[in-house]
Copies of this chain bind each other. A is one copy, B any other.
């Protein structure tokens, strides 16, 4: 139900309090303000970078320790190893789902649909709280470390956004961690800028892709993008890159345990296939089509399953959520341990001293050619290489060059089907869950499958299966998430191979087009399911034929007079749920004039403080403006992450109810207006481009006072 959510207000409310505050501020203040903004961008970068490093280290250490222990024990008994493996996974997943259900329900899922909604202008309660941040960080360590078919990238984006928002309000209000000084960012507009930075920082940290982060933020929020913001977002991303890099440099000395010394590039394939021939374009297009189909199917299946979960399963309470997650954990462990057991081992290929890849890999190492349940020395288990491994390593193995014929088609197919199914059922459980890494896993599996066929077909060409795996990954993500430029850049940055850019582009174009023929992108579908009313960037086709007036139907506008009786105000506020009301002034000769827009939240502040109540129904100062204001601008600031006061919380005596309030100083005197017969397409553009919340539909004006053209706006400073 769309009525539960409120919109954000990106407009500047130019009421008297605001104007007075502005008047006190000189140019110096503006400079200070800009400096603080940059300082916050720096802090967001550092915070998100550190959070990412923390999550990464924890996940890799938990998982590494788990696999090390398991491998040690299976030397003696496969059964004991299996029990241990299942148990560790179970404990990790249980702790994750317990934290989420008990302390931070808003931290479940990837969080990207919610952030997308926030940046689109929808206020969703609870997504940017301190507890959500903590829940997200700890929860994703548990769920990713516990080996579920989900990733940590989506949650990192949410983490970045949370950090940004909390910094902006100076800490958490609830836990009394807040300080007063940085409370400069009072309007939704300022907060939105911070959250944009945080969102970019999250992507930059998750994929170590600074440019990708900027573009991701940009693609989600294009409607009100400004070039100053772009530069600041970029700065934040670069800071993240520096922080992550520094941490990695520190890990190089071996002090990060199982994390090893992983390079800055996550899956470096810069050494792969140098060139491609035109004949390869056909199989690549096939990969694109497969990606579009499988991606759209993924969206559809997860939509059904989430729908079912929301409306039946999760209604039954937290206990069911916990049991569900634990069950899925056990199933996942069972499959990832059991299936490789059933697979017969393969012979190692001839050792190629140049490639530097050992077969089988030495015990306790990460790499290709895992020896699992294989008898002889020169054997490896190709299914275990991808299944019984951390996801990062599995992807690295799938992308790896110089390992042609490592996988059998049968193993890849088994893995594809099983992992796809696992990813679908895992989606929507009450743990933090990203879809990037599972998507890359699925995509690179079928990509590599296609690559195997191509190697057989065009045997004369210099083809690497790893390149096809990368294209497969891009195609699946494109087919499911339908992101474009940012996805493309992220794929390039995580693999450090600029030369594949045109190919990735081609594959993405195809898979997005194919996917769009079936349904919307993953995040849009999920946002819709959660009742987040996103405004798309393109107006709908039939809006061309509608006018502004038609879109309001024959609604009766609820408005206030300039001087309103308190009793009336209370009763009007009780009688509806609107958040904005026109204020109409009646002059003596019966003419009316629209004075502006007053927000419900401001009215509530006035009712609560009572200082503006007056006995007479006559305006304070008919000429307007010079009456002293008894309020500080900051009283009107909307609190973040709490619902704010409601009309039910306000208690007034019957004397109070007989008083009056003059609304003139508190209203927004210049809301945007549109004439009644403007076509809805134009209204839509105005509304979305400027990030509005309320728009007045008014009669055609009676005269034109002046015309503004470009020349009138060219004012020299």
- Give the B-binding residues of A (Cβ under 8 A): 2-3, 7, 11-12, 14, 22, 27, 30, 121-122, 210-211, 214, 218-219, 222, 224-228, 230-231, 234-235, 238, 241-242, 245, 249, 264-265, 270, 275, 484-485, 488-489, 492-493, 496, 498-499, 501-502, 505-506, 509, 533, 535, 537-538, 540-544, 548-549, 551-553, 555, 557, 559, 578, 580, 582, 584, 591-595, 669-670, 672-690, 693-715, 717
Residue numbers in B under 8 Å from A704 (CB-CB): 557, 559, 582, 584, 594, 696-698
Residue numbers in B under 8 Å from A696 (CB-CB): 701, 704, 706-708
- A selection of 11 A-B contacts at a CB cut-off of 8 Å is A230-B484, A235-B505, A242-B502, A557-B706, A669-B677, A672-B686, A676-B706, A688-B713, A695-B708, A696-B708, A698-B705
Question: CA A432 – CA B703 in complex, angstroms?
Answer: 49
Question: CA A683 – CA B669 in complex, angstroms?
Answer: 14
**Nearest opposing residue in chain B for A270, CB measure:** B270
Cβ 8 A contact of A533, one of B485, B555, B711 = B711
Cβ 8 A contact of A705, one of B552, B593, B714 = B552
Q: Given A225-B225, A227-B219, A505 and B701 touching (CB < 8 A)? A: no
Residue numbers in B under 8 Å from A538 (CB-CB): 226, 228
Cβ 8 A contact of A555, one of B555, B681, B697, B707 = B707
Residue numbers in B under 8 Å from A582 (CB-CB): 704, 707
**Nearest opposing residue in chain B for A546, CB measure:** B715
Is there contact, CB below 8 Å, between A228 and B505? Answer: no
Is there contact, CB below 8 Å, between B485 and A231? Answer: yes
Q: Given A234-B505, A242-B502, A580 and B707 touching (CB < 8 A)? A: yes
Residue numbers in B under 8 Å from A245 (CB-CB): 502
Q: In angstroms, how far is the closest chain B Cβ from the Cβ of A216?
A: 12
Residue numbers in B under 8 Å from A509 (CB-CB): 235
Is there contact, CB below 8 Å, between B219 and A222? Answer: no
Is there contact, CB below 8 Å, between A541 and B230? Answer: no
Is there contact, CB below 8 Å, between A682 and B670? Answer: yes
Q: In angstroms, how far is the closest chain B Cβ from the Cβ of A556?
A: 9
Question: CA A493 – CA B714 in complex, angstroms?
Answer: 36
Residue numbers in B under 8 Å from A496 (CB-CB): 498
What 9 pairs between A and B have smallest CB-CB spacing?
A552-B706, A698-B701, A670-B678, A238-B505, A697-B706, A695-B708, A582-B704, A231-B484, A697-B705
Question: CA A688 – CA B672 in complex, angstroms?
Answer: 15
Q: Given A498-B265, A501-B211, A708 and B670 touching (CB < 8 A)? A: no
Question: CA A435 – CA B365 in complex, angstroms?
Answer: 52
Is there contact, CB below 8 Å, between A698 and B707? Answer: no
Question: CA A517 – CA B486 in complex, angstroms?
Answer: 33
Residue numbers in B under 8 Å from A264 (CB-CB): 499
Question: CA A122 – CA B714 in complex, angstroms?
Answer: 13
Question: CA A238 – CA B275 in complex, angstroms?
Answer: 16
Question: CA A363 – CA B484 in complex, angstroms?
Answer: 48
4 new A-B pairs (CB below 8 Å) besides A210-B505, A218-B230, A540-B717? A211-B488, A226-B538, A230-B484, A689-B690
**Nearest opposing residue in chain B for A704, CB measure:** B582
**Nearest opposing residue in chain B for A241, CB measure:** B502
Cβ 8 A contact of A227, one of B214, B249, B537 = B537
Residue numbers in B under 8 Å from A683 (CB-CB): 708, 713
Is there contact, CB below 8 Å, between A238 and B501? Answer: yes
Q: Given A210-B501, A219-B230, A238-B502, A709 and B7 touching (CB < 8 A)? A: yes
**Nearest opposing residue in chain B for A252, CB measure:** B275
Question: CA A2 – CA B712 in complex, angstroms?
Answer: 11
Residue numbers in B under 8 Å from A230 (CB-CB): 218-219, 222, 484-485
**Nearest opposing residue in chain B for A556, CB measure:** B706
Residue numbers in B under 8 Å from A551 (CB-CB): 706, 708, 712-713, 715
Is there contact, CB below 8 Å, between B592 and A706? Answer: no
Question: CA A682 – CA B717 in complex, angstroms?
Answer: 17
**Nearest opposing residue in chain B for A558, CB measure:** B707
Residue numbers in B under 8 Å from A675 (CB-CB): 670, 673
Cβ 8 A contact of A542, one of B679, B685, B715 = B715
Q: Given A549-B706, A594-B702, A211 and B211 touching (CB < 8 A)? A: yes
Q: In angstroms, how far is the closest chain B Cβ from the Cβ of A604?
A: 19
Is there contact, CB below 8 Å, between A552 and B584? Answer: no
Q: In angstroms, how far is the closest chain B Cβ from the Cβ of A359?
A: 29
Residue numbers in B under 8 Å from A493 (CB-CB): 498
Residue numbers in B under 8 Å from A218 (CB-CB): 218, 230
Q: Given A231-B485, A592-B702, A717-B541, A687 and B708 touching (CB < 8 A)? A: yes
Cβ 8 A contact of A697, one of B488, B505, B707 = B707
Residue numbers in B under 8 Å from A228 (CB-CB): 537-538
Is there contact, CB below 8 Å, between A685 and B690? Answer: yes
Is there contact, CB below 8 Å, between B584 and A705? Answer: no
Question: CA A557 – CA B704 in complex, angstroms?
Answer: 7
Question: CA A6 – CA B37 in complex, angstroms?
Answer: 37
A222, A496, A506: residue with the most chain B Cβ atoms closer than 10 Å: A222
**Nearest opposing residue in chain B for A211, CB measure:** B489
Is there contact, CB below 8 Å, between A701 and B699? Answer: yes
Question: CA A504 – CA B214 in complex, angstroms?
Answer: 16
Question: CA A714 – CA B1 in complex, angstroms?
Answer: 13
Q: In angstroms, how far is the closest chain B Cβ from the Cβ of A576?
A: 12
Is there contact, CB below 8 Å, between B679 and A14? Answer: yes
Residue numbers in B under 8 Å from A489 (CB-CB): 211
Is there contact, CB below 8 Å, between B227 and A714? Answer: no
